[in-house]
Homo-oligomer: A and B are copies of this chain.
Amino acid sequence: MKRNDFSQWDCALARTVDVIGDWWTPLILRDAARGVTTFDDFHLSLGISRNTLTQRLNSLVDHGVLAKTLYSERPKRYRYALTEQGVDLVPVLMAMASWGQKWLQDVSPPFRVRHKRCGHEATAMVVCACCGEPLALSDLEPLPKGESA
């Protein structure tokens, strides 16, 4: 495929896509968020081929999204777990899933979880970090250049 490399682009979206923008990575992360930790469990749960899984896992570790730790010296056994950076990606995955639930037919949520803060089932919504109102393209307009607020 001679995949294009976005790692030098000066765009937050392109750089994020460089980390999680393939077909398997978001699902690996979904499983990690659900508590899957071992190589074979990822393989079993997703049906991803083993060499691709090796690459993805290594790439996520390189990018600091997953951490690989040895949990048994003999025989050597490893565990993959979300780092703080990876944990922070979970809401983004939930936002993607929310879109899917709204617009695609016959889909279940990727995780059925309860939001401890309110006690209800958690569903993601993307809002403006500043005013808390839902973000919508129609409420956005180009920033006059040079302006920062």
Contacts and interface: CB of A to CB of B under 8 A. Distances in A.
Interface in A96-141: 96-104, 106-141
A56 to B, nearest CB: 12
B140 A104 contact: no
A62 interface: no
Given A91-B95, A95-B92, A110 B30 contact: no
A119 B33 CA distance: 35
A16 B125 contact: no
Interface residues of A, number: 87
A98 B23 CA distance: 21
B124 A127 contact: yes
Contacts of A110: 11-14
A36 interface: no
Nearest to A143: B112
A16 B124 contact: no
Contacts of A48: 4
Contact of A131 (B3, B11, B33, B118): B118
A143 B27 CA distance: 20
Among all A-B residue pairs, the 6 with the closest Cβ atoms? A118-B131, A12-B100, A91-B126, A16-B100, A13-B110, A125-B129
